[in-house]
A and B are shown apart, each in its own frame.
Chain A
Amino acid sequence: MSLRVLNPNAEVLNKSAALHMNINAAKGLQDVLKSNLGPKGTIKMLVGGAGDIKLTKDGNTLLKEMQIQNPTAIMIARTAVAQDDISGDGTTSTVIFIGELMKQSERYIDEGMHPRVLVDGFEIAKRATLQFLEKFKTPVVMGDEPDRDILKMVARTTLRTKLYESLADQLTDIVVNSVLCVRKPDEPIDLFMVEIMHMRHKFDVDTRLVEGLVLDHGSRHPDMKRRAENCYILTCNVSLEYEKRTNILAFSEINAGFFYSNAEQREAMVAAERRSVDERVRKIIELKNKVCAGTDNNFVVINQKDHCSEKSKEKKYGKAGFGLWRRSWPNDHTIAQIKDAVRDGLRAVKNTIEDEAVVLGAGAFEVAARQYLINEVKKTVQGRAQLGVEAFADALLVVPKTLAENSGLDTQDVIIGLTGEHDRGNIVGLNHQTGDPMDPQMEGIFDNYSVKRQIINSGPVIASQLLLVDEVIRAGRNMRKPT
């Protein structure tokens, strides 16, 4: 109330109103992103005020395009976007998980339960789930020669949620090979070494990987060979061309006098400049003669003079892998969407290599974790915090539920089928075609371990913070009025 004294315009929402504001915001955001999830999700076409089109099935892209104003929703969105920054995926899952935690909590709070108790239960459940994840994950031995099959399955799982099946399958090999191509032992994988380029005049199915360097500059002389094998390659960064305007050059680089005092002096400068260029070229020819003498070997000079900086050189020369694709007259927004999908695929492969583990997908982990929490963890918890564990466990099911919903299946049937099959001792995920339980291992559906871990970690933290809000205060503006 002291705030009222300081600022009579301040608006204060009491505890229950504040809580419901938070819950509604979380549910609202969940509703928006829910339909993205899975291989049966809905792709969204966003048309801006000026007619700009963006095509996305990625929660991260979608969130960034949205003009979110509700402070609670912004908080959730920031968490979800941070999730993507860290692990490259899982934005949609984070948002719907937080939304579901809030939704489940609402049931108990409406029955008079204190949020604090729920939050305690969340904490216990979170720790138990993370432990369970360690047991549940499928370790993958990387070593010198990573298991390509597993990597392909991970990449395909991700790509199929972003692109239609045959395109996704075609890109799978490319994505896996390009990551393996830039991988160096004992070093973190630098995905910037993979350059994604699009060629406007080819088809999406022409996409391919070039293992090597791609230089997009043409040759400097029409008589240069179109093809050269067994090459010595010299890369350098010196000027090999005569400066057209030596007066400017001298002025700027030497900065001694402003102008030449006479024409001879200028001529002398020009001549000196040319001499030093000639000298450099002679040195290069000498080198060529030395290394190529008496063989058929070729000699290639790749020169980049000052407008290409250190970094772009690195970029240009250092890049090893590199996919290239496009579709006949694709729209820019189509290209952008494919690029996003490829980037996600690359991240998924990289994560797998670094995690040395994967997690069975199609909702299998969520179902198993839920059953574990309900059947085993809950019993060990004293008192009402049990209900928090239960809420958490039910919230986990949002993933298979949403997958079912997006596939047009009945969510209740699906959940009953899955939990039943699970209790018979099988690890099962959802077959989105039929709605029946299936074995994700057989189908080759794998998710990233680090992404799952991150979601389980950050979801409850944000949900707890939002549940524990007692008062919402905003100075000067009326919150209840729709704006």
Chain B
Amino acid sequence: MREIVTIQVGGFANFIGSHFWNFQDEMLGLASDPYGDPLFKTQSLNMDVLYRTGETPQGALTYTPRLLSIDFQGSLGSMSSQGTLYNEGSNASSEVVTWAGNISTHASEPQKKNLFLQSLYQEEQNVPMGNGSNGGTKGAQNEIQDTDIVECLNKGVQFWTDFSKVHYHPQSLYEVNGLWMDGKQFDNYGAGRDVFTENLRGEEICDRLRFFVEECDHIQGFKFIVDDSGGFSPVAADFLESIADEYTNTPVLLYAVRSPGSLMNLRSRKQTVVRDLHDAVSFSRLSSFCKMIVPVGLPFLSTSKASTFLNIEDGNPYHCSAVYAAALHSTSLPFRMEPLGPTAETSDASGALDINGLVQMLAGQSRQNMVAILDVAMPAPSMRGKQDEHSLLQNLQPLTPEVAEDVDDLQAVESMTVHGAIVTEGQRASVSEVKNAVNAEYQNATARPMFCHLSVARCPLPIPLPFPSIFGNLVGQHGELLGSPISGSISRGSLDVHSIPMAARLRSSCAILPFLENRLGNLRKFGIQRGALGTDLLRSWGFGKDEVEDFGETLSKMVRTVNPHSEISSDSD
């Protein structure tokens, strides 16, 4: 078994994670549902890669994500940081056995569970009676209607736990306490500077990680998602540094994510400088402690090409995170496929790849470019699309910001995952059909990469109930793209769309050049040049002149890697 340990650091990373685990939970549910689609029952995707089995003190078996999540104290809303599986009931709790003297109780106002969480709770209470299949027992006895739930979630999601249907292990959810600042103040590099080292937080975090790592048989890598828009970036960087130190041979696949909201509201020049410097420093430090980094998060997701078939509000992290989570789900599929060797193939999946394989392929080839671009087609178009209709390659649009378009890069390397693809109405494409279709598209494409690894699974992305209503009216029930819009509401959600075909791609290409050059340029302009505006700011973040120059060197090395002739990479002074 080649396990993955997932790490989520920061607010938006946990929003994405929440959706991601909802997908996994939905897949597990559908696989065990006797009336479910047989596509979800395949053995080709091994859930044990992401999940761990355990046992509560009472002896009940548990199956929980192999996850370490780090967030603010209070960000869990109405969910207990102990999770729900391992609590010992309320009767034991009021007794204090360690102290003979006075006891005072300080209780904060209980967080109200929203309609969705209430319904989950109800369902759980009912499980021992009925045999727990979703379809049959629903309806009459269930007082909370699905439509109400969907509406309630679309109206207001405050915490990522508000729409999570997953049980977490008590070691999984780590809350950073004692910061005494709110999210607004925690928005730049300086705010999170010492958070990891102070108060033995780092020790506790590493202990928890060790708990998950040590029970692995043969870990294939860490999937690390960090919200790098604010103070959690230095926390993650310090954490990554200690991971690199402790688990030297275990590759880290890092997704640096940010919500569209985090990029807005830059009113003054000063704020822009802070933001630009933060981006440069954050990216430079994060990238130096991982094997591959994938920046994810467009400033305007709603109007980007990636959301052609979606209706998204940029200000709503519940919406945006759903798209990114879907893309991350797709890219993680090859890690879970059973490797069968070069020639063997099953009818359900092909193209297994472990994290190290992916990293070697994209970042370890001749050019050694460790920054990858994430592209997604959500939903993926039909595999028998005619040339003039939607083609897969045209529909794959970047979720990585500041990426050049239409770049002809002969040295590009790609890893593509297509799953649940449709041939014609209601019929899933077979693995070989998808392979042929993708090959044909590449044959006809004007710009071809040097190498493309293709992973195919027949199992589509299931849409769980708490998924936001973000599909446009051209998306059908099984995610097929319709010729004419469905009349009625503009946004379709989990009640109308049950699953979608997905395609996602990680590519190492010189299209990333603007992203790198912007960061390098800003660091030079505001941080390194004589009399630069941000020198004092950087010093207050704890970085001296030498360190800042090191960051600059790291960045310009990355630029040179992608484009040896780039003007900016040469030192002008």
Contact = CB atoms under 8 A, between A and B. Distances in A.
Interface of A: 35, 39-53, 55, 57, 63-65, 67-69, 74, 77-78, 81, 85, 162-165, 167, 192, 200, 204, 245, 247-248, 251-252, 255, 258-261, 263, 266, 306-312, 327, 329-334, 337-338, 341
Contacts of B186: none
Contacts of B38: none
A310 B181 CA distance: 36
Nearest to B243: A309
Contact of A53 (B93, B170, B180): B93
Contacts of B131: none
B440 interface: no
Contacts of A67: 73-74, 180
Given A50-B78, A311-B246, A330-B97, A259 B342 contact: yes
A43 B101 contact: yes
Contacts of B247: 307, 309
B81 A57 contact: no
Contact of B180 (A68, A260, A310, A334): A68
Contacts of A41: 101-102
B57 A327 contact: no
A337 B98 contact: yes
B219 interface: yes
Interface residues of B, number: 61
Given A40-B101, A45-B106, 18 more contacts: A42-B104, A43-B96, A43-B104, A45-B103, A49-B111, A64-B199, A67-B74, A67-B180, A77-B178, A77-B180, A85-B199, A164-B99, A167-B98, A247-B339, A260-B342, A306-B249, A332-B88, A334-B98
B214 A45 contact: no
B64 interface: no
Interface of B: 2, 57, 73-74, 76-82, 88, 90, 92-93, 95-111, 170, 177-178, 180-181, 198-199, 203, 210, 213-214, 216, 218-219, 245-250, 339, 341-342, 354, 356-357, 360-361, 364
Contacts of A39: 101
A50 B77 contact: yes
A52 B98 contact: no
Contacts of B108: 47-49
B98 A49 contact: no
A309 B248 contact: yes
Contacts of B82: 52, 332
23 contacts: A43-B96, A46-B107, A49-B108, A50-B77, A50-B81, A50-B111, A52-B82, A55-B96, A64-B199, A65-B73, A85-B199, A163-B99, A164-B98, A204-B98, A247-B339, A251-B357, A306-B249, A307-B214, A307-B218, A311-B246, A327-B97, A332-B170, A333-B93
Contacts, number: 160
Majority secondary structure, B binding face: loop
A60 B92 CA distance: 25
A248 B251 CA distance: 14
Given A165-B100, A260-B342, A52 B177 contact: no
A248 B339 CA distance: 8
Nearest to A306: B249
B426 to A, nearest CB: 35
B89 to A, nearest CB: 10
Contacts of B101: 39-43, 164
A310 B219 CA distance: 16
A49 B109 contact: yes
Contacts of B245: 309, 311
Given A260-B342, A308-B214, A47 B104 contact: no
Contacts of A57: 99
A261 B108 CA distance: 64
Contact of A74 (B180, B199, B216, B339): B180
Contacts of B78: 49-50
- Tell me which of A77, A164, A260, A307 has the highest count of chain B C-beta atoms within 10 A of its own C-beta: A307
A43 B102 contact: yes
B92 A310 contact: no
B110 A312 contact: no
A329 B92 contact: yes
Contact of B178 (A52, A81, A163, A334): A81
Contact of B103 (A43, A163, A309): A43
Given A252-B356, A306-B249, A307-B216, A45 B342 contact: no
Given A49-B78, A331-B93, A338 B98 contact: yes
Contacts of B74: 49, 67
Given A50-B77, A337-B98, A338-B98, A200 B246 contact: no
A81 B99 contact: no
Given A40-B101, A42-B102, A307-B219, A255 B364 contact: yes
Nearest to A50: B80
B212 to A, nearest CB: 11
Contacts of B103: 42-45
Nearest to A168: B98
Contacts of A85: 198-199
B98 A163 contact: yes
Given A64-B199, A248-B2, A312-B246, A329 B88 contact: yes
A57 to B, nearest CB: 7
A55 B339 contact: no
A213 to B, nearest CB: 16
B364 A45 contact: no
B80 A47 contact: no
A337 B98 CA distance: 8
A35 B104 contact: yes
Contact of B76 (A50, A64, A248): A50
- Tell me which of A42, A162, A266, A331 has the highest count of chain B C-beta atoms within 10 A of its own C-beta: A331
Contacts of B360: 251-252, 255
Nearest to B203: A192
Contacts of B361: 258
Contacts of B214: 307-308, 312
Given A50-B80, A50-B81, A266-B341, A45 B248 contact: no
- Tell me which of B73, B76, B78, B99 has the highest count of chain A C-beta atoms within 10 A of its own C-beta: B99
